[in-house]
Amino acid sequence: MTDVQVGSRLPDGLVERLMAHAAVAPGAARLTIEAPFDGRPLYDLPLSDETDVESCITGLRAGQRAWARTPLRERSRIMLRFHDVVMRRRNEVLDIVQWETGKARRDAMEELLDVCLNARHYARDAARLLTPRRHRGGLPLLVGAVQVQHPKGVVGFLSPWNYPLTLAASDAIPALIAGNAVVIKPDVQTTLTALWVVDRLVEAGVPSDVVRVVTGDGPVVGPMVIDRVDYVMFTGSTRVGREVAARCGERLIGCSLELGGKNAMIIRADADVVRAAEIASRASFANSGQLCISMERIYVHHDVYEAFAEAFAARAKGLRMQAGVGWGADIGSLISQRQLDRVMAHVEDAVHHGATVLAGGRARPDVGPYYIEATVLAGVTDAMALCADETFGPVVALYPVASDDEAVERANDTRFGLNAAVVTRDRRAGRAVALRLKAGTVNVNEGYGPAWSTTRSPMGGMGDSGLGRRHGDEGLLKYTESQTVGTQRLLGFGAPFGLSDEQWLGTLGAVMVAMKRLGLK
């Protein structure tokens, strides 16, 4: 356990020190933030207004020009220092994340590891992605071109409360390495985590006029940011994502959107049910199910359905709940009363329409005001809200299927396409099934960890689950503008030496045929 326990306060002076990175004027209106563990006041958050946002982004534009001139090697070194600073002060940020979200420390640890993986990856891959590249021109020896990546300018990050460390740091890292300035608009509930990230970036060497935080409710402050930045990275619901995309479209600026999901796992007939239950438990109940890539639907071959359902329900019943900062809990709190009401409404509607509760199904105010047991349901039908709509809580439905074909068909029967999983003893067959699933990431023999942790590979959604990708090359290049500088040598494209256009075309045609025969592009 850490030395901070539920019922005590955040370290003295921490909030005031971190608020130096927030764009708020003296005397700003304030909002009291409560700790999900116990509902007690945690700190008062000053709120940015439109003048604050305007002034913030104007200052970032000035700082960005100097930052973009900083050598790429130095920007990369700064991110490696950031990695070290985060690891050195990991207990401090794990405490803050737990206080603001109520999540179990093991789930906060996943965020910490994700941030460090991204810092290392992009610091070491940036030169490959951002060094100017030469390309052969249309006429060999006569034409050449160089491709250059320029930063967008100021990038705005609009993020929710469920993974505040990851969504503040891991997305900002590639944008900063690419030479952009960054403004982060976190959810009001998790602003302190975002401010801590900025404080660590500045400690590592990022100029304080290149990265800032604006505070306030998303529907109020979010549009202010979108109307002033050069690119938007949004994580959140599909409904709000459509609004963000439309607003960006009006300004003809780019955006990347990671949105909702109704993710499916397939348990094949050859699966080891004990191992499958352990994988499914982690995939469904991590972060109390408040994870856009967690599993909410599990399709189980009928040959192993009963054994799997028994093992999975037993695991769900055995998950430990405790309210407080520190190690020991398997499952944490939901974020708020609103989220608890939404999750319980899905469970109660399903039970009312005939679903069977195999595990959980109850709120647990004896643990904390927003706790709910890990819940496993059977007999879920199309008449129930949780069959198609994202629940975003520790609730999962089991469905028996007769074949891989049926499992794939039902898993793909959704407007979402974010994440999926296949559990099997036969990895080759598992990969074959994975290729048939309509999801941006698919994991074999795990729920989300392999795809999420492979930072060299892109991650994102299909369908109503979003646009663009984080991680991989695209996760950095999307924060840049490509420019091609072409150079003509000796002869121009016009007919030379008094040749007619027809004669010149004949010459060029002969050159094209020769290039094809030589295998040249």
Residue 6: pLDDT band by 50, 70, 90 thresholds? very low
Check pLDDT > 70 for residue 20: yes
Check pLDDT > 90 for residue 7: no
**Secondary structure of residue 435 in the 3-state scheme:** coil
Maximum Cα–Cα distance for the chain, whole Å? 93
In tens, the pLDDT along 426-475 reads 999 999 999 999 999 999 999 999 999 999 999 999 999 999 999 999 99
Among candidate residues 336, 464, 53, 26, the one with its CA nearest the CA of residue 222: 53
CA 93/CA 90 separation, integer angstroms: 5
What residues pair up with 298 in beta bridges, in sequence order? Answer: 265, 398
Report percent pLDDT > 70 for the chain. Answer: 98
CA 441/CA 464 separation, integer angstroms: 14
For residue 79, with 0-12 CB atoms within 10 Å meaning exposed, 13-18 middle and 19 or more buried, which class applies?
buried
- Please report the pLDDT score of residue 1 as a whole number: 30
In tens, the pLDDT along 111-132 reads 999 999 999 999 999 999 999 9
**Secondary structure of residue 358 in the 3-state scheme:** strand
Write phi, then psi, for 435 (nearest 5 degrees): -65, -15
- Please report the pLDDT score of residue 4 as a whole number: 35
Angle (nearest 5°) at CA 248 between 242 and 253: 140
Describe the chain by its helix, strand, coil percentages, rounded to 5. Answer: 45, 20, 35
Q: Would you list the domain boundaries of the chain?
A: 14-259+473-480, 263-455, 497-521
Q: What is the CA radius of gyration of the chain?
A: 26
- How is residue 387 annotated by DSSP? G
Evaluate the CA torsion angle 398, 402, 408, 414 in order and state its sign: negative
**Secondary structure of residue 495 in the 3-state scheme:** coil
pLDDT mean over 25-29? 95
CA 230/CA 57 separation, integer angstroms: 10
Cβ-based neighbours of 381, under 8 Å, separated by 6 or more: 353, 354, 355, 387
Superfamily for domain range 14-259+473-480: Aldehyde Dehydrogenase; Chain A, domain 1 (3.40.605.10)
Catalytic residues: 258, 292
Check pLDDT > 70 for residue 336: yes
**Secondary structure of residue 50 in the 3-state scheme:** helix
Check pLDDT > 70 for residue 8: no
Please name the CATH architecture into which domain 263-455 falls: 3-Layer(aba) Sandwich (3.40)
In tens, the pLDDT along 79-108 reads 999 999 999 999 999 999 999 999 999 999
Residue 11: pLDDT band by 50, 70, 90 thresholds? confident
Check pLDDT > 70 for residue 196: yes
- Please report the pLDDT score of residue 24 as a whole number: 97
pLDDT mean over 142-169? 95
CA 397/CA 280 separation, integer angstroms: 11
CA 374/CA 98 separation, integer angstroms: 19
pLDDT mean over 232-243? 97
Check pLDDT > 80 for residue 490: no
For residue 513, with 0-12 CB atoms within 10 Å meaning exposed, 13-18 middle and 19 or more buried, which class applies?
exposed
